A and B are shown apart, each in its own frame.
Chain A
Amino acid sequence: MASSIAASRLQGTGTNALELDNVGRHFGALVALSGITMRIAAGARRAVLGSNGAGKTTLFNAITGDFLPSYGRIRFFGEDITGLAPQERIRRGLRRTYQISQLFRNLSVRDSVYLACRGVSNGRFSLVRPGAGDGAMLQAESILHAVHLDAEADVLVGTLSHGEQRQLEIALALAGAPRFILFDEPAAGLSPTERRDLIEILNALPRHIGFVIIEHDLDVALRVSDYVSMMHNGRLFKEGTPEEIENDAEVQQIYLGGGHG
């Protein structure tokens, strides 16, 4: 098992982590995404910016399979995943977080992260209780440590503060051996201190893990990414390095509402 994962990872090097070919999605007459074509190399860190309703979260939903695109192809490390069920994509190393926390309110923090680790390994139907020495349980402990949630391990998720719930969102995305992560506004509603923590956590991710981050806070987005895609009305309309985007007049017009120097 471990060797096959390693082999697939080796095979993955050199190809793109994520390739989108002309991906579109419409809900009835509403065009949420149209003709998105994107190539993201393994290990690359991409920020996706755009105003509300630009189609950013719809793009994530299409990539993770929360719903299928109306047309277009999506490849993950060279493999066509366009029609795969969400859990199959996750087991191949794709991960995501949600803009509005999607958590298990009545489970403990530890059990939540344990399930995320179990979901990408074997024994998902086990009727035996996981011991403290269980592999997935050990990994859950180390992830809780990495996102600074050790002290909250036994607390029910529903009683966590907003900031802690956002940390748990990230913890769930780190389970197993992620190869590529989609972060949907991880900084939403965080305090300035929590934002600094978040930037630290994102920058501490091993370099082979690439990610796409949707973020309204340019401070966060431009500090953790090495390339930026701008979306508007369901289309990609500009790509560049963080510096290029920051200084682009058209971007400032649409995204920052003009008047930025």
Chain B
Amino acid sequence: MSLLTEVGSPAASRPHFPELFTQGHALLGFVLLVYPALASDFFVTQIGAYSLIVGLIALSLMVLAGYGGMVSMAQITIAGAAAYVVAILGDNNSGVHGLGWSWWIVVPVAAGSASVLSAIFGWIAVRTEGIYTIMITLAIATACFYFTQQNYALFNGFPGYSGLRAPTVLGVYWRDPQPFYYLCLTVAAIGYVAVLYAARSTFGLTLQAIRDNPRRMRAIGFDVTAHKVFAWWLAGLLAGVAGVLLAWFNGRVSPGTIAVAPAINILVVAVIGGLRHPIGPFVGALVVVVIQTFAIDIVGAERFNTLIGLFFLVIVFISPDGILGLWARYGPHPERDGKTSG
């Protein structure tokens, strides 16, 4: 099979997933695990769990934008689609639909539908590049927002659905503060580790290579469109699972969930955190959620968006790579100057 018979020295056997087993991850994992023991219910749910959910949606954007070079404005729309499926197939108290299916069938169907929807969005968007991808996904997000607002047959129009409840499994009501926090933490951790691992998988490498040079990827045998659409499908899976958690967190889903402002919010979260590493979206989510929660106390309800906007401006101005970029520049770095350069 090989063209050149002589085989160079085989690469020294490297550990398969070295990035996971770091001191930073051990410390982070410990802090996240003991956090509920130290914080009030409000902090556990409204800050902790909600940051993890928003971070997971932003992670789906990070996969597309950071690895694939495709900036999507439609990630909240995809998460919202999963939330609507939860409302329609599960229970709600809006008196419309609410088929009452069990959670173990509703959850996979919700995440699955969201991922398929994402693949369709992707299939439309991959014909474009750069700013046109942003525009076309923004157009899709906006269209979906107005459609759900005006369609009463399926989406119950403006009020949407309320009374969505997380299931009670193994005697635990999973929307109670601590169980819900640990549920979100588990799902977010799985998503984070999966992205961290898959970034260096064959598909992860193809996605980054397509970002760098799609023309060359075709010239070494790859179907660029198929790989991009597959990336959208995977990102849709992340956003879809996050959408289920979002439905349980809010207890409701309405057009407001997928409006243009929340769509922009996801982009702000991802950019503030940084798009170069899957931890970025979670850092960004924590920062934005904390600001959104407490800005009202500092500057009043009328101005809290101004504060977020200013913070966004400052971050983008001093560090295009977000908080991750600041960390890379000023944080402790034992291995800095270790490798690179040839």
Chain A positions near chain B (C-beta within 8 angstroms): 2, 64-66, 85-87, 90-91, 95-96, 98, 102-107, 110-112, 114-116, 118-120, 123-133, 135, 137-139, 141-146, 150-156, 159-161, 164, 172, 174-178, 206, 209
Q: Can you list 9 A-B contacts (CB < 8 A)?
A: A90-B221, A119-B221, A126-B201, A133-B10, A138-B7, A142-B8, A151-B342, A154-B339, A175-B220
Decide yes or no whether B209 CB sits under 8 A from chain A: yes
Decide yes or no whether B222 CB sits under 8 A from chain A: yes
Q: Which of B34-42, B103-111, B155-163, B210-218 contacts A (4 or more CB under 8 A)?
A: B210-218
Decide yes or no whether B297 CB sits under 8 A from chain A: no
Complex contact B218–A98 (CB within 8 A): no
Complex contact B203–A126 (CB within 8 A): yes
User: B4, B198, B201, B208: which contacts A142 (Cβ < 8 A)?
Assistant: B4
Q: Which of B12-20, B112-120, B172-180, B250-258 contacts A (4 or more CB under 8 A)?
A: B12-20
Contacts of B3 in A (CB 8 A): 139, 143, 174, 176-178, 206, 209
Decide yes or no whether B205 CB sits under 8 A from chain A: yes
A130 to chain B, nearest CB (A): 6
How long is the Cα–Cα vector from A121 to B221 in the complex, in angstroms? 9
Complex contact B8–A123 (CB within 8 A): no
Decide yes or no whether B227 CB sits under 8 A from chain A: yes
B220 to chain A, nearest CB (A): 4
Contacts of B340 in A (CB 8 A): 155-156, 159
Contacts A104-B212, A156-B340 given; indicate if A86 touches B203 (C-beta within 8 A).
Answer: no
How long is the Cα–Cα vector from A234 to B341 in the complex, in angstroms? 42
Complex contact A137–B11 (CB within 8 A): yes
Complex contact B4–A66 (CB within 8 A): no
Contacts of B208 in A (CB 8 A): 104, 106-107
- Considering residues B16, B215, B221, B341, which has the most beta carbons from chain A within 10 angstroms of its beta carbon? B221
Contacts of A90 in B (CB 8 A): 218-221
Classify the secondary structure of B's interface with A.
loop
How long is the Cα–Cα vector from A120 to B2 in the complex, in angstroms? 12
Contacts A127-B201, A138-B7, A138-B10 given; indicate if A2 touches B1 (C-beta within 8 A).
Answer: yes
Complex contact A142–B13 (CB within 8 A): no
Contacts of A144 in B (CB 8 A): 8
- Considering residues A119, A146, A150, which has the most beta carbons from chain B within 10 angstroms of its beta carbon? A119
B59 to chain A, nearest CB (A): 16
Complex contact B7–A142 (CB within 8 A): yes
Complex contact B220–A115 (CB within 8 A): yes
Contacts A111-B205, A127-B201, A139-B2 given; indicate if A159 touches B341 (C-beta within 8 A).
Answer: yes
Complex contact A104–B222 (CB within 8 A): no
How long is the Cα–Cα vector from A175 to B227 in the complex, in angstroms? 20
For the complex of A and B, the 5 pairs showing the least CB-CB separation, nearest first, are A119-B221, A145-B8, A102-B216, A86-B218, A155-B342
Complex contact B202–A141 (CB within 8 A): no
User: B4, B10, B230: which contacts A146 (Cβ < 8 A)?
Assistant: B4
Decide yes or no whether B6 CB sits under 8 A from chain A: yes
Given contacts A90-B221, A141-B8, A145-B6, 8 further A-B contacts (CB under 8 A): A87-B221, A124-B206, A124-B222, A125-B203, A125-B230, A129-B16, A137-B11, A139-B3
Complex contact A102–B203 (CB within 8 A): no
Contacts A2-B1, A104-B209, A126-B202 given; indicate if A98 touches B221 (C-beta within 8 A).
Answer: no
How long is the Cα–Cα vector from A87 to B342 in the complex, in angstroms? 32
Contacts of A91 in B (CB 8 A): 221
Complex contact A98–B202 (CB within 8 A): no
User: A142, A152, A176: which contacts B6 (Cβ < 8 A)?
Assistant: A142
Contacts of B230 in A (CB 8 A): 125
Complex: chain B residue closest to A135, CB-CB: B1
Complex contact B201–A174 (CB within 8 A): no
Complex contact B10–A160 (CB within 8 A): no
